[in-house]
Chains A and B, each alone.
Chain A
C-alpha cells in the first residue's frame, strides 16, 4: 500500500498485490475489505503508515475485519506518540524527561512556561519530521510558536518543554522480537547539539564521546523503554540528550517504528533493520534469522563498527530564498548523504564532497569578519560546519567555538586537525608523505589542487605516481571478526585492499546522490532497475552512490556496492580498479550526467547514449540546429550577454518571456517575465548576466498545453512509453505539474504527431537508452521545449502505468540488445488512466509563496489510478494529502484575465451545492453572470473579518486563487500560505481548479473503488 509511484516499493514484482492508492483510512479500509488480510504491519511506513493504522484501529475497522496490528499494537503506538502517556511511562521505569506540560491553548502554554522557563520547546502532537515544532525565547515567540503548533497538530495539542538546547544528542536504534530479546543496532551521535532537528544535524555513527558506563546507561534505558512502551517487534528509534557538564541523561522521544535514522543505521552497520523487522513481526526471533553478510552468525547480536559514518543533510534553501535558513526543531532538509571513512575526519570530508554543492573543504570560501563568524557559529544554519573551519583559520580557539556552537570539543578538535593540515599541503605539495596524510585526512584531490594551484588531474597523477591510491574495505557488521560475503565497500587510504575485483564482465551504475528538489527517488528507481537488468543478463552490477535513503544502497540490490561520493575522483578510483565494460550515466539524473564528459575524457567507456549526443541536446546552439534540421518548432529565443541585449531580444520576441541563466540546468533561477521593469529587476536580483554567463531569453508560450514524453531508443528503433499531458498550462515546471497518462484532452492526431517527433529526435540524436522530450502545443503548433537523453523523473510513473519496465529495457539496450522484441508494445492502449500529482514542502517554510512557476519546488509525488480521469485525479488529490470537500464555502479570487473563465467553474460549484465567497472584484464579475456570492474583504483593505480570518476559522473548504502577473502577486501570498498551514485544498491555476471540481463531482457520487496494480496490468494483456 503506497500512493508513491517513484519508489521500488510499488513495483509490481515486489509484492503479490500492490495498491497504488491514497494512504487514507478510507482507502486502506477498502483494500482491507477486499483483501481480508490477517494482519496489518504499520511500523515500516514512517509516520504516515503509523497514523493511518491508528485511525483504522480507532475507527474499529481492524476489529470489524479481524485484522491484527503486528509490530506495534495500538496501545504501544499511543504510549509512544502521546507525550503525556509517554511521560507517565518513563516515570514508571525511573527515566527522566525534560520538564514539560501539555497545552491545548495559549493560556495553558503560558502556565507551563512559568515552570519550565525560557527558552521553551514547542512540539505539536502527532506530526511528521517535527513539523510545526519551534523554540520560543520570549513571550512573543511563545505566542506565535504555540499558535502554529496547535494548527499543525492533528489533535490540537502541543507539548511545552524545558529546553535542553546545547546538550549532546544521541539516538539508539533498537530491535525487539516476540521472545523479548532486545538488541541495539547502532548508536548515533549528533554533531549539532540539541536544538537542531536530528534530520538537520550532521550525525555520526557510532557515538564518539560516551564512556562505556554512560553508553550502558543509555542502552539499559533504551531496552527498558521499548519494553515499557510495549513495541513488540522490530525497529524503534529512541532519542536521548546528555548534559555535557555532568552526564545527566534525559529521554527525548521514541518512534515506535522504523525511521529515517533506521535507514541510516542500516546502511551504517550493514544490518538491514526493516527487513529483519518484517520477519520479527510475523513471529521469527532474532536468533532464528541469519546475518546475510556473515552467513554463519545470527541476527541476534549488536553490530561492531570499525569505521566512522557521517551523515550530512542536504537542504534546498536556494529554491526558497524567502525561507528562514535557521535550523530549529522542525526539519528543513530534503535529503542527506552518508560517507564512510576510517576516521571522523576522513568521513566528514567525504560527506562534504558527496553533497554535490561544489564544496570541497570546510570553508564558506569567502572572507569573513570575526563578528560575522561569531554570528555564523552561534546561529545554526547550513553554513555552520563550514564556518567552524573558517573560524579556526581566523585564529578562534576550540573553547571559543565551543561556547558559541555548543558542539562537543572532540568534533571541533577533529575539524581543527583537518584545517591546520592545509598549510602543510600548501608548503609541501610534492612530498609523498604529506600527500598520503592529506588523503588519509579525507582531502579531495580537488581541494589539494585548489590549495596548490594545480589541476585536479595533475594531483591525481602525482599521487598515483607515488602509489597513493584508495584502498577498499568492507562494511561487514562485525569489525572483520567473521568473513563477509557481501561486497559492500568504502574507500580509505590504508595498507590493505580487501576486495579485489572479480573476473566477471561488469558494468558500473552511477547513482543519483542526495535527494534534492528535482532529483529524488525516481532516479534511484531507475538505477535499481538497471542493476536488476544486469543481473538478469549475467553481468556483474556495480553500484556507486552515497545516499542512505535509497534502495540502490542496499547491499543486496547490486553485486557490488561502493558507498562513495559521486565525484570524478571517487568514481575514477572505482573504475580504474574494476575495469568495467563501461559506466552508465543515464539513470541517476544530473549527478552522473555531469560526469559523462570528464569520464569519457579520462578514457572511461560510457554505455548507451554518447556524451556527444547528450551535449547536442544540452548545448543551445547545437540543439537549435538539430530542431531546424528536423523541421520541428521551438519557441523563439536568443542568448543575451548584457541587460541591454536582453531587453532588445525580449521586445523583439514579445513579452512574456522565460528568462534563465545558461549555466544552470533544472529550472534554477528561472522566471517568466512580463514587462521591461520585471526583466530589469529579475536580472538584477537573480542572475548576474555577463559575456561569460549569458542568459537565455525565450518566448513564453502562454496558455499552451505542456506534454512530457518518455521513450526508449536503441539507436534506430524507438519505443514510446508514455505521452503525459500536463493538467496546468505551460509555465509550471514539469516536475511540479500534475499530469495525466494517457492524455485526457489531446486528439489522436496530436498524440501521433508527438510520438513521431519524439521518434525523430531520438533517432537524430542516436539515443541508446532512455529519452524524455517536453513539448508544448499552442494554436495547433507543437513546440519542442527540451530534450533530455536520459532517465526522467516520470520513468517510474510511466512504467507502472503502462506495465513495462522502461529502465530495465533501457539498460539492456545500452548493453547492445535491440528493441525488436519490445516494439509490439509501442502505442499500447490503456484501459485505465494515471494521474501524477506533486507534493510540496511548503509547510516547512511558513510564509513562503506556494505559487508554482518554472522553478521546481516539489519534493515528491503521488499517483492516482482509475478507469476515468476524474476518479484518477480525485485519488491523486486525496493521496497528496488534501481533504476534498463535498459541502461548504469556496473562496474564489482570480487575476483579471481569468475572470471570464472562472465564471462557468463557479456556476458548477454552486450547482453542486457550494457557497462561493469572493473578493469584491471577482464577486462583481460573478454577479454579472447572475450568481449570488458572498463578498469578503481583501487582506490589504484592513477590514475584519477578512479571508484569512475565515480560513483560520476553517469556514473555507477550498481556495481557488490565481496570482496576478509579476509584482502584484505578493498580495495573495498570504492567502496561499494560510491555505497550506490550514490544510485547505487550494488551486493556483484554473486548469487545476477545473480538474478539482471534476473530482468533487465524482466524490459526490461516492468514493471510487480500489484495484491492485497487478489487476490493472492483467487487463493490459
Chain B
C-alpha cells in the first residue's frame, strides 16, 4: 500500500499508509471519539470542510452497507484511522471501508498514531491539515497546510444544502424491516437544509410530520408561504457566522411559528436572537457527552458534533434562557425562548450514530406544534 502523509498547520507530521482514494485532501483536522458509526460519520454533511480522525483504533470491522447513511454521499474532506479493517464482518455489510472511500474519492490515511494526533489536537486545538498519498516528502505539504483558509467565517452550508425543495417520507429503522413507512402526518413542517442528516428527517416523519426540505437560502417569506405548523433548522458544517442570509431568514420567523433547531440550527437561532457564537478549541465530536437538562436535572448521554458554541449570556437579555448544559465543560447545550415556541439543542437527539437518550426532544417539538394548532 502506498505511503501517505498527514501534515498539520503547526508542522506536526505523521507518516502512514494510504487509505481509500489516492490523492490529496485538506481541511480542518478534528477527532471523533465514537467507537461505532463511522459510516454515519462519513456521510454526515456537518463534516464538510473537515478531516476526521477516529480515536477508536480499529475502524471498518463491520464494513459499510446501504442503510447506514446520513445523506446521499460521504462528505468528509479526509479520513484518518489507526487500522482500517480489511475484512468486513456483518450480515448487512456490502463493501469494505477502503473500497467505499475509494469509490467516493475520499482520501484517507491509516497506520498513524491516532492517539498522539488526538493529544496534539486536544492541547493545540483543531487546525488545518493536509493528507497526501502522492507526495514523496512532507516538507512542501507544510507550506500548503499553512495557506489553508480555516473554517471561520466560511459558508460551507452552500456546499451541502439541497438545490431545490423536496419532500421526505421515510420513517425510522427496524432491525428486520429496515426503514419503515411513517405514520400518517399530523403536522406540516419546513426543514431548513444546512446539511441535514437523514435521521433527523426520519425522526420528524416518525412523530407525524409531513416534511418539506428547503435550501438554506430560502427566505422567511417563502417558508411562511408554505404555511408550516413548525420550522426545523438543521445541523450543518462550519461557522454559523458564515451564513448571514440564513440568520436573517430565521430572525424573520422568530415568534411567528414553532421552531426547533439542532446543532448549527441552534447556533443560527442564537445569532438570530442577537447573541454571539465562538469557536471551541477542538469541539465536541463523539457519542458520550453528558448533557444535563437544567429544569429536570436529568442527564442524557448525547451524540455531538460541533466546533462552535453559543454564549448563553449573549442571548439572555433577549428573552432566551439556557435549558441544557454540557457537564464536561459547562458549555451551553440548549436554549429556549421564554415566550415564543422556539427551542434548540447543540447536540444530536436524532443520534445516528450515538445514544437515543434525547429522542424525546422530537416529541417536544410535536407538542409545541400541537399547542399552537390548539
Contacts and interface: CB of A to CB of B under 8 A. Distances in A.
Nearest to A481: B33
Given A216-B354, A246-B175, 17 more contacts: A209-B89, A211-B92, A212-B40, A212-B68, A213-B173, A216-B353, A247-B92, A285-B297, A297-B327, A301-B289, A307-B57, A308-B57, A410-B89, A413-B89, A482-B328, A496-B116, A498-B115
Contact of A209 (B56, B61, B299, B354): B61
The DSSP consensus for interface residues of chain B is loop
Nearest to A246: B91
A478 B83 CA distance: 19
B91 A247 contact: yes
Contact of A211 (B87, B90, B354): B90
A301 B301 contact: yes
A550 to B, nearest CB: 26
Given A211-B65, A245-B91, A344-B58, A287 B328 contact: no
Interface in A172-223: 179-181, 183-184, 206-217, 219-220
Contact of A410 (B87, B119, B355): B87
Contacts of A496: 113, 115-116, 119
A179 B31 CA distance: 32
Most buried by A among B118, B122, B301: B301
**Top 10 A-B pairs ranked by shortest CB distance?**
A212-B37, A496-B116, A212-B353, A410-B89, A479-B55, A495-B113, A413-B87, A304-B33, A302-B288, A212-B36
Nearest to A341: B57
B86 interface: yes
A287 B300 CA distance: 11
A710 interface: no
B85 interface: yes
Interface of A: 179-181, 183-184, 206-217, 219-220, 244-249, 285-287, 296-298, 300-308, 342-344, 408-410, 413-414, 473, 478-483, 494-496, 498
B176 interface: yes
A217 B175 contact: yes
A179 B87 contact: no
Contacts of A179: 297-299
Contact of B82 (A210, A214, A217, A342): A342
A844 B176 CA distance: 40
Contacts of B328: 296-298, 301, 482
Given A343-B57, A495-B116, A498-B119, A298 B327 contact: yes
Interface string B300-332: 010000000000000000000000000110000
Contacts of A413: 86-87, 89
B264 to A, nearest CB: 22
A479 B301 contact: no
B75 interface: no
B36 A211 contact: yes
The DSSP consensus for interface residues of chain A is loop
A237 B86 CA distance: 32
Interface of B: 14, 31, 33-37, 39-40, 55-58, 61-62, 65, 67-68, 82-83, 85-87, 89-92, 112-116, 118-119, 122, 173, 175-176, 286-290, 292, 297-299, 301, 327-328, 351-356
Contacts of A344: 58
A297 B299 CA distance: 13
A307 B56 CA distance: 7
A304 B89 contact: no
27 contacts: A179-B299, A206-B35, A207-B36, A211-B90, A211-B92, A212-B36, A214-B175, A216-B351, A219-B356, A247-B92, A249-B175, A285-B299, A297-B290, A297-B327, A298-B290, A301-B301, A301-B328, A307-B57, A479-B115, A479-B118, A480-B31, A480-B55, A480-B122, A481-B33, A481-B55, A494-B113, A496-B113
A183 B55 CA distance: 20
Nearest to A402: B89
Contacts of A286: 299
A478 B113 CA distance: 16
Contacts, number: 170
Given A305-B56, A343-B58, A212 B115 contact: no
Contact of B62 (A183, A209, A300, A304): A209
Nearest to B282: A481
B68 A287 contact: no
Nearest to B60: A410
Contacts of B289: 301
A300 B355 CA distance: 14
A720 B67 CA distance: 71
A212 B35 CA distance: 9
A306 B112 CA distance: 13
Contacts of B89: 209, 408-410, 413
A106 B65 CA distance: 47
A220 B82 contact: no
Nearest to A286: B299
A304 B119 CA distance: 14
Contact of A480 (B14, B40, B118): B118
A296 B290 CA distance: 13
Given A183-B301, A246-B176, A301 B290 contact: yes
Given A179-B298, A287-B292, A301-B289, A306 B36 contact: no
B48 to A, nearest CB: 21
A986 to B, nearest CB: 50
Contacts of B56: 206, 304-306, 479
Nearest to B64: A211
A479 B116 CA distance: 11
B58 A211 contact: no
A494 B90 contact: no
A304 B36 CA distance: 11
Most buried by A among B39, B56, B67: B56
Contacts of A210: 36, 62, 90
Contacts of A248: 175-176
Contacts of A298: 290, 327-328
Contact of B57 (A211, A216, A306, A408): A306
Contacts of B287: 302
A286 B292 CA distance: 11
B154 to A, nearest CB: 25
A244 B91 contact: yes
A1002 B53 CA distance: 69
B213 to A, nearest CB: 23
A601 to B, nearest CB: 34
Given A479-B118, A480-B115, A304 B82 contact: no
Nearest to B173: A213
A287 B36 contact: no
B82 A343 contact: yes
Contact of B288 (A209, A214, A303, A410): A303
A212 B301 CA distance: 15
Most buried by A among B14, B90, B118, B352: B90
Most buried by A among B35, B39, B86: B35
Contact of A216 (B82, B86, B297, B355): B355
A244 B36 CA distance: 18
Contacts of B173: 213
B352 to A, nearest CB: 7
A480 B355 contact: no
B36 A215 contact: yes
B87 to A, nearest CB: 4
B93 to A, nearest CB: 9
A479 B62 CA distance: 21
Contacts of A285: 297, 299
Contacts of A498: 115-116, 119
A208 B56 CA distance: 11
B139 to A, nearest CB: 19
Given A216-B355, A302-B288, A410 B297 contact: no
Nearest to B114: A306
A754 to B, nearest CB: 56
A209 B297 CA distance: 35
A245 B90 CA distance: 8
Nearest to B353: A212
